[in-house]
Structure 1
């Protein structure tokens, strides 16, 4: 079954886009719902901040009467005359509006008095308008108090012309000015203030338990503000929200908000679409380059380098991929060199054998014991080479078998020095050995193989009359043996290449003495297999120093 493949860039694009859309949709939806639910309450709370004067007046009234009902009744009874049938009910409903009107007049007089005082202090200003000054003086003379809200009225209420007629809000010239009503009683004149915000028609008074007393009751959510007298709550002033779901102004307001939110939503979609596209493209290009680089490696093009200049994980991945390509190229070069060197090393003894056998077949050379010994020598060289190749291949594949046991390495070294004594004498070399033993976990046969390679290497590369020194060092953790010889010496470049497969410092000299160029490389691998290390340096004697180190049993 064929499963449709979705590219990672497309997945990233859709993920970013859909995530942004979901977050935006939920956020704007919650914002719209919260606005509809709480905005009207917020508006009412803001409007309540304008009622500080009214709150203070109501607290002062309660301090005098200690009961809202008694306060309203007592202040209505201050009016002279004979009340009409429904005058008391009308004044009870109107009492809170009248208290608001008084607080409005007091604030109006206070604000304009400050303006007048400031203008009078500035001698450069022109004279204030006489009519306005006279009105302000009249307000001051007839300024009511919260304890006599109905001063200037008389019963019956029908005798007070236009007293309940609100000012025309369309009259711009009088929208902010008080309306003066004159009476014939000789007392204070009744002053009606225009209610620009319409607060008076939405006010209601509640007792300390939030039981309705007077004002405009409402079934909708009301903004409450406590009235505090003598450091305790004696009642609440309620304000009906100006915005309602069925109100035309509210419908128009929320319709505008929906349009704005929809515009924000569309702009967010377009922005997220562009951002998601740019981000997907930003990640798609380096991923494609990495994919192309991987394909080149699978084709065997190990010299291909991925160019991703980024300081992030993709940049790190490209660097690792390039490093892998370098390593693979080195391994491939090493493999080819291995095959070439192996075939070259096998070709020489096989060519010699072939020539000797063909000479015998043609009757040029007789099958004498000396000729057979020469041929056997070539066969031995082939056998040694193939054995070294097999051991080295096993060591590099981590498959070299080592049978570890408690061994004193110095005794093994002394034995091998004794075995090599005829060869040292034949080469004209002097051997000095001074060392101490230790108990190590080693494969004795493999350790002998290492020492045979090191001692044989010294014989091949030390001039006649030279010397070989063997000594040991040890501490609590390690045991080390040094094999130093005198010139021939090695250059730094030769020393760096020493231990590589088929590397010979002097190829012709080594071939003449039977070297294969694998001994030191194999010795290093065997030492590693047993937990040790073989390294090379310049010898104090002027030749080569071989340092073989093994950890002690702890």
Structure 2
């Protein structure tokens, strides 16, 4: 910044000097042209002759302007030149030959009748007033430049201080985050919009990393717990049978087999989530009639609905969407399975499918047990169960809704839940029509 200010100041002084030089040169040229024209008029008004009195007046005036006029005729003979007395009276010149000279030809009808030689003290013919003016101007510009340069230094120091302090804080903060410390947040205290935006983004990054870290820790704990329970059951039963405490019976073997199946199902679900989360580009999307797909899923649950005497209201439009039918089948299956599981006998489930603008909206509503308000924000988290004891009794693992969200997000959509404890739950899936 300081370099720019300095360069601009130097350029300003240079440009002013250059323009003033051009002005003086133009003024000089105009003055010479005026004297030449005046000599020409004098010649014409004197019937084609040179009158010493007229030329002398012109020459004397030229001396006052700092010019020494020497007039020569067509034969290069001197018509008039100032006397030494007049010369030294009007100027300080001691040697005319050492002065700069400009020769102007005087022509009438393209015929040269004389030539006027003007001598002056410098190339541009600066007068005393010209020199004083340009010197004053340069001093003023130099003073202004120095002042601007000083102000620029103050501003640069202030900006550097305001920039460096939050940047140092951000660097220190990101180093702490990189080491796994997510406890603190950066304060937003600058007047610079861009720095504040960087602080906000950095804070949000820290929050997301903290959330992901907590999720990983809870996920690891939940997976360990979910795996430990069936393994402990299997190990205890096997040890009891090996030690002869329990006789080996078909019922116990079937129970052990059920635990193995549950364990295998859990592992498959974990693999399924990981596969969907990291393989969005592997979704096999085709044009699919969603209303027919829903009907296929409903037919698979017909016996479950009849067993609990649940009333099903089904309102759909014919909607063709670009989706992976197998994955969306799993979404509908999980949502309907949840609705049936938590709806009491003789309850009611309502399924709606409609197109809104460029989106498809699917809702699955039940009048079942509902979800507590504190549990709603976590209902799509891996292994989260609002009522763990009841869920495990019903074969739940807290992973079905996590799979639903993963699949829907992989399709570029969203899923939300609206629930009230003891009243019922509504799951809403929104998918883009053309994905």
TM-score when normalising by structure 1: 0.58
SS of residue paired to 1:515: coil
SS of residue paired to 2:100: coil
Please state if 1:96 is matched with 2:55. Answer: yes
Question: What's the RMSD between the two structures over aligned residues?
Answer: 5.1
**What does residue 374 of structure 1 align with?**
255
Say if 1:61 and 1:71, in contact at 8 Å, map to a contact too. yes
SS of residue paired to 1:463: coil
**What does residue 202 of structure 2 align with?**
321
Separation in structure 1 between the aligned mates of residue 349 and residue 67 of structure 2, nearest angstrom: 119
CA-CA distance at 1:512 after TM superposition: 0.9
CA-CA distance at 1:407 after TM superposition: 4.1
SS of residue paired to 1:489: coil
Does the C-alpha gap of structure 1 residues 550 and 399 become closer, same or farther in structure 2, counting only changes over 3 Å? Answer: closer
**What does residue 185 of structure 1 align with?**
none
CA-CA distance at 1:457 after TM superposition: 0.4
CA-CA distance at 1:522 after TM superposition: 0.4
Separation in structure 2 between the aligned mates of residue 293 and residue 315 of structure 1, nearest angstrom: 14
Deviations 1:65-115 (A, max 9, x none): 253xx250xxxxxxxxxxxxxxxxxxx4x75344677xx9xxxxxxxxxxx
CA-CA distance at 1:503 after TM superposition: 2.6
**Aligned match of 1:65 in 28, 32, 46?**
46
Please state if 1:202 is matched with 2:72. Answer: no
CA-CA distance at 1:519 after TM superposition: 0.5
Say if 1:20 and 1:272, in contact at 8 Å, map to a contact too. no
CA-CA distance at 1:298 after TM superposition: 2.1
**What does residue 75 of structure 1 align with?**
none
**Aligned match of 1:353 in 234, 242, 262?**
234
- Bigger shift: 325-334 or 544-553? 544-553
Does the C-alpha gap of structure 1 residues 350 and 437 become closer, same or farther in structure 2, counting only changes over 3 Å? Answer: farther
Does the C-alpha gap of structure 1 residues 356 and 483 become closer, same or farther in structure 2, counting only changes over 3 Å? Answer: same
Please state if 1:288 is matched with 2:168. Answer: yes
Please state if 1:454 is matched with 2:365. Answer: no
**What does residue 135 of structure 1 align with?**
none
**What does residue 122 of structure 1 align with?**
none
Say if 1:395 and 1:526, in contact at 8 Å, map to a contact too. yes
- Max Rg structure: 1
**Paired positions, count:** 408
Deviations 1:164-201 (A, max 9, x none): xxxxxxxxxxxxxxxxxxxxxxxxxxxxxxx9x84487
CA-CA distance at 1:468 after TM superposition: 1.7
Please state if 1:472 is matched with 2:349. Answer: no
CA-CA distance at 1:290 after TM superposition: 3.3
TM-score when normalising by structure 2: 0.71
CA-CA distance at 1:446 after TM superposition: 2.4
- Bigger shift: 18-27 or 265-274? 265-274
Q: How does 1:140-539 map to 2 (within 5 A)?
A: 198-199=64-65, 202-203=68-69, 214-215=80-81, 220=100, 240-241=119-120, 267=146, 271=150, 274=153, 278=157, 280-281=160-161, 283-307=163-187, 309-398=190-279, 401-435=282-316, 437-474=318-355, 477-490=358-371, 493-530=374-411, 532-538=413-419
Separation in structure 1 between the aligned mates of residue 144 and residue 360 of structure 2, nearest angstrom: 77
Say if 2:56 and 2:80, in contact at 8 Å, map to a contact too. no
Say if 2:289 and 2:318, in contact at 8 Å, map to a contact too. yes
CA-CA distance at 1:387 after TM superposition: 1.4
Separation in structure 1 between the aligned mates of residue 257 and residue 38 of structure 2, nearest angstrom: 131
Deviations 1:488-540 (A, max 9, x none): 2345554443322223232222111011111112012223334554333359x
Say if 1:416 and 1:451, in contact at 8 Å, map to a contact too. yes
SS of residue paired to 1:309: coil
CA-CA distance at 1:453 after TM superposition: 1.0
Gaps of 5+ in 2: 83-95, 107-112
Separation in structure 1 between the aligned mates of residue 228 and residue 102 of structure 2, nearest angstrom: 107
Does the C-alpha gap of structure 1 residues 266 and 450 become closer, same or farther in structure 2, counting only changes over 3 Å? Answer: closer
